[in-house]
Amino acid sequence: MLVHIALLRAVNVGGRKPVLMAGLRDLLSELGFVDARSLLQTGNLVFSSDARTGVDLEDFLEAEAAKRLDLHTDFLVRTAEEWKRIVANNPFPDQAKQHAAHLVVVFLKRAPSARNVKELQAAITGPEIVSVESNHAYIVYPAGIGRSRLTNALVERKLGARGTARNWNTVLKLDALAGKRDGGETGRRIGGSACRRS
């Protein structure tokens, strides 16, 4: 079976779209997915399945969450192997080691065009550095994320795709969790603090 990592867009952030992780784990189990686990409270799920993959799986999860939980949001799904490549291909290894909380990966619904990437680069007014690879973008926030003008809304608008961001610490934790299929984490919430951006 394939291990999948699913990220929910903009849940449990600033009071928006509140949802219990236990409810999401139960949803996955009811839908026939195996070994459902969650990380933090910002909508990070790991589970196993061979039934669906890619966009088909995202569409299915979005439809079922809306129908069963009245939760209307984007699901962005990657396989564990895809996730490992995202970690391995990080173009900012020094920043990841020195200031992991200042590095985020924005997971996108689709790969932006070269023109969209240029438009995003042109919109940067601060010290931020962006590198777009396929359907995700690595962004370094040297001065921190909170006051940056390079917001998720701006990134989505310029890249022409919806997405959700996770900081590098969370990316690594999800990579580790995806490797624990038999590690005793089933049905448990891992971690206690939220990412700064969703």
| Residue-wise pLDDT tens digits, 77-104 | 999 999 999 999 999 999 999 999 999 9
Q: Which residues have a Cβ under 8 Å from the Cβ of 128 and sit 6 or more positions away?
A: 139, 140, 141, 142, 148, 150
Q: Which of 64, 82, 100 is the last residue of a domain?
A: 82
Q: Which of 54, 82, 110 is the last residue of a domain?
A: 82
Let me know whether 102 and 75 are in one domain: no
What pTM value is reported for the model? 0.86
* 111 within some domain: yes
The percentage of the chain sitting over the pLDDT mark of 70, rounded to a whole number, equals 88
User: Are 62 and 43 contacting, i.e. CB atoms less than 8 angstroms apart?
Assistant: no
Mean pLDDT, rounded, for 152-162? 96
**Residue found under tokens 């990966």:** 105
What is the domain extent for residue 20? 2-82
pLDDT tens-digit map of 31-54: 999 999 999 877 899 999 987 888
| Average pLDDT value over all residues in the chain | 88
pLDDT at position 12? 59
Concatenating the DSSP letter of every residue in 86-118 gives HHHT-S-HHHHHH-GGGEEEEEESSPPPHHHHH
- How far the first Cα of the chain sits from its last, in Å, is 28
Q: How confident is the model at residue 189 (pLDDT cuts 50, 70, 90)?
A: very low
Strand order through the sheet with 34-39: 75-79, 2-8, 44-49, 34-39, 189-190
Query: Which tokens sit at 47?
Result: 């589970």
